[in-house]
Amino acid sequence: MVIPSLIQHKRDGRALTADNWAQLVWAYTSGKIPDYQISALLMAVFFRGMSPEELAALTDAMIASGDSMEWDGLGMPVVDKHSTGGVGDKVSLLLAPMVASCGVAVPMMSGRGLGHTGGTIDKLESIPGFRTGLTMRETRAQVERIGCAMIGQTPQIAPADRKLYALRDVTGTVESIPLISASIMSKKLAEGLDGLVLDVKTGSGAFMPELERSIELARTMIALGEVRGCPTMALVTAMDRPLGRACGHTLEVEEAIEGLRGGGPPDLMEVTYALGAEMLVQAGVEPDQAGARTRLEESVSSGRALETFGRVIEAQGGSPAVLEDPGILPQAGAVEVYRAWRDGIVSGVEPHRIGRGILELGGGRRTVEDHIDPTVGFVLTVKPGDKVRRGDPIASVFARDEAGIPIGMAALEVAITIGDSGKLTPLISHRITAAGVEPLAAG
């Protein structure tokens, strides 16, 4: 295999064979191809795309780079959800314990931050002691006991994606339908699921900002799942503003805990319940979304979902005391309120700028080796369409120290626009299954 020729082939818009992809993935995962050559190949894919045959071969090779989980004898359906990535998207933190406490096994396998978006694994690791690197055996044992594990990719599960994901994060090759699809579906299919629910983000803070491309991404992933025997569906949800109020690792864990206590922001709870209802229906434990939603709401109001989260935290090495006292999470060294500079209507809260702001404050990675500061971020208390008066507190900056405050303030100045009009786009705009695309009236 002559790597430069394969890169040139792809660069010139020609398809590689299934065999080429299998060998490339195997060789890269085994450390036989350097990052710089795979970076060039990823960039060629970014610009040239992939044929359906290439995408299938890449996905299969990524699954085959590791082992697959098996759930024989578990006695519970096994379902997961995955998001294409957003800002303030802490849904997984609430959803996994909620769904697990309704009798469905959730081996929630998530990623780290990617580009301007935050990753569930980084958020969980802001809980002191929380261990996300469980082995497959540990994961299975925990799911048997608690119904839920919240893990990163172990070296055993789709290790090719683990390497490629980290490389894409720092080489400008994230926003590609085939690369996102292969990344998400390889790890999800290796989980051996009975069903998968996808949260496909759309809007300026999503990797696919245009609705048509978001729908294409959803359909590509659904096709990959269905052909491989995993019932897969998607909801298309808004990412033209951050989800919820908190953006940043510990801040989002705190907001997730608030949500599991029944006090989360309405948009966060709406997306979480909608995805959770799809998971319960897909798992076959509820016949329809309405019943599933009631059951999920009860899991929160009864305290069962919160208790399940506590058991997960304890099982994975963290202290469940964080649920009673989120103040034990590491805290920012400096906090400052940001105020509206005029009367008017919020016309935009730009998630991409917020995500970049977190990066600038030290909460993201610029290179694969970077360590992140979990304490930094923003709390945004307005949404597009909200009326504000000059001087109203509309956001807060959380920085490592005083030096970070102007950096955060500068990000907010660009991210939050106030004008004479503004409105909220629908929160959940489409439901997509193998049967087709259904626009949803409810927003």
Cite the active site residues: 82, 161, 168, 183, 187
Give the H/E segment covering residue 198: strand 195-202
Per CB under 6 A, the list member of 108, 114, 376, 379 interacting with ligand URA is 114
- Residue closer to ligand URA, measured from CB, 10 or 81: 81
Q: Is 84 in the site for ligand URA (CB under 6 A)?
A: yes
Q: Which region, judged by CB under 6 A, interacts with ligand URA, from 179-187, 216-224, 259-267, 349-357?
A: 179-187
In the complex with ligand URA, the residue whose CB is nearer, 165 or 273, is 165
Among 86, 97, 111, 203, contact with ligand URA (rule: CB under 6 A): 111
Closest separation in Å from C-beta 152 to ligand URA: 11
Total residue count of the chain as it appears in this document: 443
Candidates 180, 230, 313, 359; binder of ligand URA (CB under 6 A) is 180
Q: How far is the C-alpha of 309 from the C-alpha of 130, rounded, in Å?
A: 12
Smallest gap from Cβ 176 to ligand URA, in A, equals 8
Sign, Cα dihedral of 167, 116, 352, 215: positive
Token look-up 């590791």 returns: 66
From the list 147-155, 176-184, 283-291, 353-361, the region that binds ligand URA by CB under 6 A is 176-184
Nearer to ligand URA (CB atom), residue 184 or residue 251: 184
x/- map, 182-211, ligand URA, by CB under 6 A: -xx---------------------------
What 3-state class would DSSP assign to 122? helix
Considering CB under 6 A, how many residues would be counted as binding ligand URA? 9
What residues from 149 to 168 belong to the interface with ligand URA (CB under 6 A)? 165
Give 311 or 365: the residue with its C-beta nearer to ligand URA: 365
Distance CA 56, CA 1 (A): 20
User: What is the SS3 assignment for 208?
Assistant: coil
Residue number with CB closer to ligand URA (114 or 127): 114
- Alpha-carbon torsion 264, 100, 328, 415, what sign? negative
DSSP bridge pairs for 198: 82, 234
State the alpha helices, DSSP H only, in 49-90. 52-64
Which residue, chain included where needed, has tokens 């939050």?
416
> Positive or negative CA dihedral for 357, 427, 281, 276?
positive
Rounded to 5 degrees, what are φ and ψ at 338?
A: -110, 135
How far is it, in rounded angstroms, from Cα 371 to Cα 164?
Answer: 18
User: Interface with ligand URA by CB under 6 A: which residues?
Assistant: 84-85, 111, 114, 165, 179-180, 183-184
